[in-house]
A and B are shown apart, each in its own frame.
Chain A
Amino acid sequence: GEDVEQSLFLSVREGDSSVINCTYTDSSSTYLYWYKQEPGAGLQLLTYIFSNMDMKQDQRLTVLLNKKDKHLSLRIADTQTGDSAIYFCAEVPLSGTYKYIFGTGTRLKVLA
C-alpha cells in the first residue's frame, strides 16, 4: 500500500526537543519532505532530504533518515510555542515524482 504513517499527537514543554517520526513505504523514494501546517493555513516547506543522505541539519531542525527501516524523523531543538502546528512528512516516489504521498500528520502541542 501507499500509507505513510505518523503518530497523531505529540506534546512537549517549551524549551525541550521534539521528535516527530514517520514511516514511509517506497524504498525508491527520491526525496522526503517535512511540511508545517498552522491552523487554517497552507503548507510551509520546512526541510527535505535526498534519499542518499542519512542526516540533514538546518538551524533548529535535524532530519534523520534510516533507509533500511524506511524511517524518517524530524527533531526540533528548543521547541517554542510558535512551533505548535501539524507536521506532515511526504515522500516522492521514483515512479511518480510529481505525486507526493503525505502522511496523516502529527499535531505538535507546545506547552508553556
Chain B
Amino acid sequence: NAGVMQNPRHLVRRRGQEARLRCSPMKGHSHVYWYRQLPEEGLKFMVYLQKENIIDESGMPKERFSAEFPKEGPSILRIQQVVRGDSAAYFCASSGDRNTEAFFGQGTRLTVV
C-alpha cells in the first residue's frame, strides 16, 4: 500500500510562471490537506479538501493560490505568477476521515528563481 505520493519532489520556476504540485492520497483516503513549510519554520496549514469540495481554505493566500481534488486523479495545488516568497516545501497529507490520523507525503520543494 503506497503512502501519500507527491510529485514532483523538486520544482524550479522563474518568477511569474505557474507551479502545479500534485498529491495522490493513500488508497482509500478521500480527505487531503496541504501544508507549507517556509525555510526554517514549521508547517502551516493551507487547505483541506474532500473529493470535489474545498472544506477549509483558511490558510491559503487569497490571491494566486488555488487547490482542487477532482473526482478522478490527484489533488492539485496551483500557484500562479510565482514570486520568490513562494519558495518553500509543500506537504500533502491524507486521511480516511477528518478525525483520524493524517499521513504525510515526502513534500515538493519549490524554488522560485
Chain B interface residue count, CB cutoff 8 Å, equals: 26
Interface size of A as a range: 20 to 34
Spot the interface stretch: A63-71, A72-80, A97-105.
Answer: A97-105
Q: Contacts A99-B48, A100-B33 given; 4 further ones with Cβ under 8 A? A: A42-B105, A45-B103, A100-B102, A105-B42
Write the B59-84 contact mask toward A (1 if CB under 8 angstroms, else 0). 10000000000000000000000000
Question: Across the interface, which residues of B come within 8 angstroms of A41, CB to CB?
Answer: 106-107
Q: Say yes or no: A100-B99 contact (C-beta < 8 A), given A42-B91, A43-B104.
A: no
Closest to A105 in B: B42
> B residues within 8 Å of A by Cβ?
31, 33, 35, 40-45, 48, 55-56, 59, 91, 93, 95, 98-99, 101-107, 109
Question: Across the interface, which residues of A come within 8 angstroms of B40, CB to CB?
Answer: 104
The 8 closest A-B pairs by CB, nearest first: A102-B42, A42-B106, A43-B104, A102-B43, A98-B98, A104-B42, A97-B99, A99-B45
Closest to B106 in A: A42
Nearest CB of chain B from residue A106's CB, rounded to whole Å: 10
Most buried by B among A40, A48, A103: A40
Tell which of B44, B48, B104 touches A42, judged by Cβ atoms closer than 8 Å: B104
Write the A1-14 contact mask toward B (1 if CB under 8 angstroms, else 0). 00010000000000
Closest to A35 in B: B104
> A residues within 8 Å of B by Cβ?
4, 31, 35, 40-43, 45, 48, 88, 90, 96-105
* Contact present for B56 and A88 (CB under 8 Å): no
CA of A90 to CA of B93, assembled, Å: 14
Closest to B100 in A: A97
* Contact present for A100 and B106 (CB under 8 Å): no
* Contact present for B95 and A98 (CB under 8 Å): yes
List, sorted by A's number, 6 A–B pairs whose CB atoms are closer than 8 Å.
A42-B91, A42-B106, A43-B43, A43-B107, A98-B33, A100-B43
